[in-house]
Structure 1
Amino acid sequence: MPHRLADPLSRRAVLRAGGVAFAATALGGTGLTAPAAGALKAGLADPAPVTASGDLVEVELVARQRMQRILPEPAAPSPLITYADSFPGPIVRMRKGQRLRATLVNELEEHTSVHWHGIRLPNLEDGVPYLTQPPTRPGERHVYEFTPPDAGSFFFHPHCNTVELLGRGLAGILIVEEPDAPKFDADVVCLVKDWQIDKSGSFGTFITDRGASRAGTFGSVSTVNGAIDPVIEVPANGDIRARFYNIDSTRVVDLRIEGAEAWIVAVDGNPLPPRPLDGWPMGPAMRIDVLFRAPAKAGQSLRLTNVYSAEPKPLATFRAIGPARPNKRFKPRALPAAGIPEPDLKNAPVIPMAFSATAVAQGFDAATIAGLPYADSLCLSEKTFWAINQQSWPEGGHERLPPPLVTLEKGRSYVFELANLTPHLHPIHIHGYTFKVLSSDGRKVVPHHADTVLLEPKERLRVAIKADNPGDWMFHCHIIEHQDTGMMGYIRVA
């Protein structure tokens, strides 16, 4: 059932937009216009980002199939599923303190929802069908309304049939801007995503037993912002803030900007003291904000490369345009600190969370899944290969919502010891919380805040939260095939 919060605000703006790669609001005094500075490739116009100057930002997210070209001719356009007229889109930019009202319009042939990834929001707005809200059926509308408490680079996506819907492009970007952040000459958004597309432009298989039970089923076409090896234009000699998103369902990337000194200044939207971009692998759903200096002369370029592979793979090119900015020697500038609640580590119980394969792979027929009051065949796989603390989702029994993995006391701090008992990588995500990454038994960890952390094979890694946000919160691997085949549960804060 749709719901709406009755909370009228003083000023309102209703805007709708598709994808955008360059923020007009971040241009400041550069003299560049957003279309010129943000062109990804010839012929691609830049629609304006969703923004508003008042207290409220409103956006309508119309989920439906739209044809869009990913492969060049003679391949046909591909049947993407998006929230806006094109992928990537929409990109919602708002200031910290503004309120978001987002209306999901479901024009799909299946139910869906919107999960707001990485945001510390009220539980009822988290967008998980059967756990935090009823599913939004075909033809229905559902209104989400909240004020993001933190600045940062976030995104949103569905939480049922995610492997197909996200695989076909159903995702959008939410950027909450810091009120006192340093000014940059450009602020670009780069979404890294593979597509499971054959040479005709048709989608292939999104999930396989082999992939689901191992490292995942990988796409065949790599893109940035939906384009193969695009050229992203940036102001010559400008200081560039690049927001890198890994929105793939499976692939891990480790990015480099060849030819430039580049520094990470945020992880999952959370400020980090500047450190060189040199070895920060990003699993699915992870993000980093990076600062770098564009080439000094128009026409010069830098290469964006993924080195997390047998051979480095070029992904995109940053090309300088326009007159050179009169910038001094490049020096990375830190972002303002966030207000994430600090856990009390001295009094925090340690809770083991073991991620493993199931002892015996299970199968569930459609009739069994159809009888579950908390899920259906869109939200559950017919097979399970994975478990958290020896519990798979769905858990045995199926008569009711499975019990939480753990119940936490509101206001108390906790340390989760994440133990990877498998030979595969697992990006672990906790809904509704930004946790603090503390330590690992297998590698040196830079303490930082995140909402998704890449757990290496056989690693034990500790993260901490202050349990200040009540509700039932999903806790899962963000390799979507792993999530859908058992490596998911929820924690309860009460």
Structure 2
Amino acid sequence: MERRQFLGSLAAASLIPRYAFAQNTPQRLLASVHRQQILPASYPDTEMWSFGSTFPGPLLRARQGDRLAIAVENALPQPTAVHWHGLRLDNAMDGVPGVTQQPIPVGGTFDYEFALPDAGTYWYHSHAKSMEQIERGLYGPLIIDESDAPDVDQDITIVVDDIRLEQDGTITGFDNFHDLSHAGRIGNLWLANGQIDPAYPLKRGERVRIRLISAANARVFTLGVQGLEGWVVALDGMPLADPQALPDELVLAPAQRMDLIVDVTTDQNEAFLITFERDGGYAIAHFPVSGPAAAARSGRVILPPNPDYPIDLVQARTATLLIEGGAMGGMRAARVDGEQLDARSLAGRGLFWALNGIAGRPETPLLDLSLGESARIGMANNTAFPHAMHLHGMHFSDVLPDGSLGPLRDTLLLNPQETREIAFQAHNPGNWLFHCHMLAHHQAGMGTWIRVSA
């Protein structure tokens, strides 16, 4: 269906509350089936799988230094688990079936509890059959407020996503080898907080924090902001020591986040969050602007830093990661569970991608590190498609061409035929997944892991 059919068809969404749960997060989070109107009202509603019977799931909010204690109950027709994306948390609470926990069975409950040492913008999502379960709606925003929060008039969280729907409102099937072997599952409808082009009212002269989260299965969003001026102040939850002036285009790969602090400077009646597509730019959310101009604040905002774990590039352990496979490149063979298989046999198992010649999570880790060691991983994308490489449990920095370190991130966009190097300190003990967050790619073989021993 065409984007133009849907713009303006739904009522404006209400603003996400600044403190959805005051100082305490809910003690129970139910994963279940519910129906929600995603398409305009003249179309049928859609069966979604969701947390808290809402899509996206409820905004969970706490303060830096708090603990999250929440029981996840599974009323879905499949086992599930919850990954708390971007949090540097205890390994046993990371929510990865087969690595840190058994999946939560149908009718079962799992109690998650962990400290929140870092402020920032994060999200939670299913990590069981992720391509399907996240597409069906199993995710929500998670905001950890700074002890000394910046002075803003509004704090708006916007989760951008795309979803693939039929005109009868159903979500299409998940046994599509094209998705697995190409760019991944790309939707035909863009959403912001589960709606088409929702509205967030602003007043002239206000200073606003906008938290962008990409829950896309595979789409790389290129976003733009019109009518607002300001800075990018954090990436993937981690504050920038040197906030950057808001560029014309904001690239947000699957699972990445970006915090903006902007001033309402337009003299028009609306400002816009735009997605740039092949045939032009379209509003994915808009901001009605009203009121007389207020006195503008001056100067950029620098968020307080999160705990730092210095990286020793000189003494760092090293590894390489060669990404192969997919269509328009392919791979002739790869190892699976120690067995060498040809391309036809791999495709028969739904495997189209390999990391260092291995399809699927290997028995031995990419790196076996001691607590406190630094590590460097050189990555080469020898494929025709981009990949969003996500490390669980720790943040890493890009090693830049001049040998300096870029901002901390937990998900890096690696473009076709591109090489990059990342570095991190192994400060968090446990077995940590490292995989492509184009979820079809992970399902089809793009996953490895790193061990950190205390």
- With structure 2 as the length reference, what TM-score do the two structures score? 0.88
Deviation at residue 289 of structure 1 after TM alignment: 0.4
Aligned to 2:288: 319
Q: 1:384 aligns with which of 336, 342, 351?
A: 351
Aligned to 1:195: 163
The one-letter amino acid paired with 1:387 is: A
2:410 is aligned with 1:451? yes
1:165-180 mapped onto 2 (5 Å cutoff): 165-180=133-148
8 A contact 1:361–1:383 mirrored in 2: no
Render the CA deviation track for 1:200-244: whole Å, top value 9, x for unaligned.
Answer: 111113452112111113111111111111222123321010000
Secondary structure in 2 matching 1:261: strand
Deviation at residue 403 of structure 1 after TM alignment: 2.1
Q: 2:244 aligns with which of 275, 285, 298?
A: 275
Q: 2:437 aligns with which of 453, 478, 484?
A: 478
Aligned to 1:376: none
RMSD: 2.5
Aligned to 2:273: 304
8 A contact 2:13–2:200 mirrored in 1: no
8 A contact 2:361–2:449 mirrored in 1: no
Q: 1:63 aligns with which of 31, 40, 51?
A: 31
Secondary structure in 2 matching 1:312: strand
Separation of aligned partners in 2, 1:203 and 1:197: 5
Render the CA deviation track for 1:115-167: whole Å, top value 9, x for unaligned.
Answer: 11101111100001121011110111110000111111000111111111100
2:60 is aligned with 1:89? no
Separation of aligned partners in 2, 1:258 and 1:296: 8
Which runs of no fewer than 5 residues in structure 2 stay unpaired? 1-9, 338-347
Deviation at residue 258 of structure 1 after TM alignment: 1.4
Q: 2:41 aligns with which of 58, 62, 73?
A: 73
1:481/1:207 CA distance change after superposition, 3 Å: farther
1:242/1:47 CA distance change after superposition, 3 Å: closer
Aligned to 1:41: 11
1:381-460 mapped onto 2 (5 Å cutoff): 382-393=349-360, 402-439=363-400, 447-460=406-419
Deviation at residue 96 of structure 1 after TM alignment: 0.4
Aligned residues, how many?
429
The one-letter amino acid paired with 1:316 is: A
Which runs of no fewer than 5 residues in structure 1 stay unpaired? 1-39, 369-380, 396-401
The one-letter amino acid paired with 1:300 is: N
Deviation at residue 44 of structure 1 after TM alignment: 5.3
Render the CA deviation track for 1:9-39: whole Å, top value 9, x for unaligned.
Answer: xxxxxxxxxxxxxxxxxxxxxxxxxxxxxxx
1:12-31 mapped onto 2 (5 Å cutoff): none
Secondary structure in 2 matching 1:219: coil
2:263 is aligned with 1:293? yes
The one-letter amino acid paired with 2:135 is: G
Identity of counterpart residues, as a percentage? 33
8 A contact 1:64–1:83 mirrored in 2: yes
- With structure 1 as the length reference, what TM-score do the two structures score? 0.81
Separation of aligned partners in 1, 2:34 and 2:101: 27
1:43/1:418 CA distance change after superposition, 3 Å: closer
The one-letter amino acid paired with 2:282 is: K
The one-letter amino acid paired with 2:284 is: L
Higher strand share: 2
Render the CA deviation track for 1:238-260: whole Å, top value 9, x for unaligned.
Answer: 10100001101010012111132
1:167-246 mapped onto 2 (5 Å cutoff): 167-206=135-174, 208-246=176-214
Separation of aligned partners in 1, 2:299 and 2:175: 44
Deviation at residue 310 of structure 1 after TM alignment: 4.4
8 A contact 1:295–1:302 mirrored in 2: no
8 A contact 2:16–2:157 mirrored in 1: no
1:325/1:170 CA distance change after superposition, 3 Å: farther
Separation of aligned partners in 2, 1:421 and 1:213: 14
8 A contact 1:207–1:217 mirrored in 2: no
Separation of aligned partners in 2, 1:213 and 1:43: 36
Separation of aligned partners in 2, 1:91 and 1:387: 36
1:308/1:490 CA distance change after superposition, 3 Å: farther
Render the CA deviation track for 1:301-334: whole Å, top value 9, x for unaligned.
Answer: 111112254422321111124x447332553211
Aligned to 1:164: 132
Deviation at residue 339 of structure 1 after TM alignment: 1.5
The one-letter amino acid paired with 2:92 is: L
Higher mean alpha-carbon deviation, 308-317 vs 185-194, is at: 308-317
Separation of aligned partners in 2, 1:45 and 1:274: 26
Separation of aligned partners in 2, 1:187 and 1:256: 18
1:295/1:451 CA distance change after superposition, 3 Å: same
Aligned to 1:489: 448
Secondary structure in 2 matching 1:231: coil
